[in-house]
Structure 1
């Protein structure tokens, strides 16, 4: 992890397209501004983690639906064969 010190109105560049600027420092709260290309998603970490969890649950749920569909189809086939 790179750790840098910055003062108000100073910036950090990530590559040549992303600028992180310190807007203000008040007590233990730091306000930052992020300039990035519109095609990049920028999220707070807790929001990013929530999106990842929802995606994981959706994939798991999709797998559950596929398994249920296969089970129902196999039960139908068994009954049709009797």
Structure 2
């Protein structure tokens, strides 16, 4: 993990086309702006994990349904 210090208004680049800008710093929280191409999905980690778990459960249900199909 890279740890980097930035001040309000400072930015950092990820690759050539993703820019992260620090827009506000308050007690215990930081607001960031993300400028990235539209085709890049940006999610909060907790939402990403929730979607990942939902997808995993859906796959498990589909596999179990397929196992229960009787063959003629």
With the shorter chain as reference, the TM-score category is: over 0.9
Q: Larger C-alpha radius of gyration, 1 or 2?
A: 1
Distance in 2 between residues matched to 1:48 and 1:6, nearest whole Å? 25
Q: How many residues matched?
A: 72
* Partner of residue 52, structure 1: 52
* Partner of residue 27, structure 2: 27
- Alpha-carbon deviation of 1:17? 0.6
Moved over 3 A (4+): none
TM value normalised by structure 1: 0.84
Gaps of 5+ in 1: 78-82
Structure 1 or 2: more helix by fraction: 1
- Alpha-carbon deviation of 1:33? 0.6
CA deviation string 1:47-66 (max 9, x = no partner): 00001101111110110110
Q: Aligned-residue CA RMSD in angstroms?
A: 0.9
Greater relative contact order, per chain length (Cα 8 Å cut-off, separation 6+): 2
Q: How does 1:2-81 map to 2 (within 5 A)?
A: 2-69=2-69, 73-74=70-71, 77=72
Gaps of 5+ in 2: none
* Partner of residue 80, structure 1: none
